[in-house]
Every structure is written in structure tokens, then in C-alpha cells.
Amino acid sequence: MTSQRLTRDVFGTLPDGRAVERVVLRAASGFEARIISFGAALQALMAPDAAGQCDDVALGYDDLAGYAAERRFFGATVGRYANRIGNAHFVLDGQDVRLVANNGPHALHGGPNGFDRKLWQVTETGDGDQPYVTLAYVSADGEEGYPGRLDVKVTYQLTGPTELSLAFTASTDHPTVVNLTNHSFFNLEGAVPSSDILDHRLTVAADHFLAIDPTAIPLPGPPRPVAGTPFDFRKPIPVGARIRHSDAQLRNGRGYDHNFCLPDDRRLKFAARLAAPRSGRILELFTDQPGLQIYSGNYLDGSIAGKQGRLYRQSDAICLEPQVWPNAPNRPDFPSPRLGPGEVYRRHIVYRFSNRGAAA
């Protein structure tokens, strides 16, 4: 199916013979989002620089083989629970829930076979001025240990000349926990990076963050103030300005891999701004989630050949992942991820790009 604003084709075939679809959403500005049904992933995002030149700003692979062979979460829809659940265990409504551990003793990003490893179904598309695609997946009761059948949908839509919006919905037949996000790795200089993201200027609308232990589980106690720490991004500062400071939290995360605490009011609100000095690209992120996990690509080690065969190395990209706080099922003092029958999970992410020049 082809139109001026939407293209749908086959991206590749999985080893079991199932076809993976690709849907491309295009804006008149040249802004373009490419979504694949494997992992409901954002495979590419073409955004204009200060000179109007469009380039891909999302790390990943050029073909399906890379996504199928390597679990690196590039652009993926992550669930049933994004981030970590401590000791792969929690109690829900008095029920003892045991998950499949895949990050030491913890459950990470839904377990070893989370939503990013699933083939989603393209259920709806629409073109016109705001083209969109909706993908759906049904997670069976007990999948990776999680209770309840979960019916999940994510809609990618171009909602402005250089704006991509993601809307997540889910419903269940039994009480469960849900925490969905997108796990794109951004480099606003380009997905085949000639430079890392340490000089990208980052702003985060958060006064507090969650301190973590060496296994990336939040420590007991309330969120810590960012003031006076390397985690204070309330004013624009290069990502790398303090990333190598002798700070216990930076050591625990091997850089930034922490949740920043946003208002838990379910309003769509400004959460972060990222600006690249050379291309002039600016990304503003809006969300109704209560947290933003910032990950500075600490575990990219040069062993992965991504787009155009480029080896991705530490700090070649940054992830800005809106979500419920990590380990919330075990922390009644954190925002709740509980979803019950008859309720509908609804969360949103908006990526808004602009290009105001290198001085922005």
C-alpha cells in the first residue's frame, strides 16, 4: 500500500517464515518515521538539520537480520515491564509473582523474551496530513511469569511537520503490572555517528532522581535532589560535562542509567530537550509518564555493527525513556504500575524536532 504520506512493505522474513512488515510515515517537510512490526520498533527517524538536510537520528540496523540476531532494544517497544523488577519477584493483591530473571537476579524489559522480541500485527494505518500506524500484540497469561492476558496496542503518528507521537494502550483480564516505553537510541548528529553524544546539550525537567545500587535497582528511601550533583540538568548542559566525575552513582550506572522523577499527574508535559551542536537538531520530549530513564549508551562496546556497518561504541547514543519508575511493583511509595480488569492503560510520548542552528 503506497501513498504520498504512507508506505507499507515487507522489511524481511524471520527464520520461521513469518514476514516482518515496515510502515513508513512521511511529512511534507521530509521528516520520516520507519516502523517495523518486529518489536513494534522505530527502525529509522529522518529529521532535518539546520540546513534542512534530513538524516537518520536513531541507531539500529539496516535489515531484519540484525534485529533478529542481537537483542539490543534499538527503537523497540519494551514491555510488559520496562526497566528492572528487583529479584524477578513482586507481590500483587496478595499473589506471589515470580518472573523470569534475565539481568543477574532481576527481570529487565519484560524478561528474556519481552515485547521487543515479538512479532506485532499491523492492525490499522491511515495517511493524509497526519499518517499513522497501529500495531497490536497479545501477551498470554503467564508469559515471562506475568499474570493476566494483556492486549497491547501502540500507535505511531506524525502529529506535526517534524513531530512523532506514540500512544500506548493496554487492557487485561486479571490484575497485573504494565510499564511500556520506546527504547530509541538517539544521536542527533546522525545514526551513523561521526561523534558521540557527550557534547549534546541536555535539559531535564526534574528536581529529583532515583539513586541506584550497583545492579541498577533503586535504593531504599525517597528520590534524591539533583541540586549539587552530576544529575542536575535543569539548565542545558553537555551530557559529558560531568559524566566522568568521581561520583558513586555514576560508578553504579557506568555513566547515566537513572530514572528522573517527573510529576505523576498524567498530563502531557515537557520532560527533556536534547540539542546537537553541529547539526543544529533539537529534540524536545513530552510525556504523561511519571519518570524518564536516561541512559547514556554505557554498554555499547564496539561489538555491534549497526547501520552501514558502523560499530556502535560507548556514548554513541542516548536513550530518553518515559516510564513508570523501576522496581515500582516492589515499592508502594513509587507511582503504581497496577492495571486491573475493566481499566485501560493509556500513556503517551511526543518527540518534537526543530533546527534552530548550532547556537540553540
Residue 283: band (very low, low, confident or very high) from pLDDT cuts 50, 70, 90: very high
Task: Report whether 353 contacts 282 (CB < 8 A).
Answer: yes
Q: Give the domain ranges of the chain.
A: 6-355
How far out from the chain centre does Cα 192 lie? 19
Is there a catalytic annotation at residue 183? yes
**How far is Cα 146 from Cα 242, in angstroms, rounded to an integer?**
39
Mean pLDDT of the chain: 96
**How far is Cα 242 from Cα 232, in angstroms, rounded to an integer?**
10
Retrieve residue 314's grid coordinates.
Answer: 560507548
What tens digit of pLDDT does each residue of 208-238 get?
999 999 999 999 999 999 999 999 999 999 9
- DSSP-derived secondary structure for 245-290: S--HHHHHHTS-EEEEE---S---EEEEEEE-TTT-EEEEEEESSS
Q: By three-state DSSP, how is residue 308 classified?
A: helix
Share of the chain above pLDDT 90, in %: 96
Segment 22-34 mean pLDDT: 97
Per-residue pLDDT at 113 exceeds 80: yes
Instruction: Give the residue carrying C-alpha cell 561520583.
Output: 247
Best CA proximity match to 266, nearest among 358, 144, 348: 348
Task: Report whether 83 contacts 52 (CB < 8 A).
Answer: no
| Residue bearing the bigger pLDDT, 29 or 3 | 29
In this predicted structure, what is the pLDDT of residue 192?
Answer: 86
In this predicted structure, what is the pLDDT of residue 358?
Answer: 37
Instruction: Give the residue carrying C-alpha cell 557534547.
Output: 199
In this predicted structure, what is the pLDDT of residue 311?
Answer: 95
Task: Report whether 132 contacts 25 (CB < 8 A).
Answer: yes
Per-residue pLDDT at 299 exceeds 70: yes
Q: Which fold has domain 6-355?
A: Beta-galactosidase; Chain A, domain 5 (2.70.98)
What tens digit of pLDDT does each residue of 70-101 get?
899 999 999 999 999 999 999 999 999 999 99
Residue 191: band (very low, low, confident or very high) from pLDDT cuts 50, 70, 90: confident
In this predicted structure, what is the pLDDT of residue 360?
Answer: 39
From the list 106, 109, 183, 258, the catalytic residue is: 183
In this predicted structure, what is the pLDDT of residue 101?
Answer: 98
Per-residue pLDDT at 17 exceeds 70: yes
Is there a catalytic annotation at residue 348? no
Per-residue pLDDT at 2 exceeds 90: no
98 exposure class (CB count in 10 Å sphere: 0-12, 13-18, 19+)? exposed
- H or E, element range at 108: strand 107-108
Per-residue pLDDT at 12 exceeds 90: yes
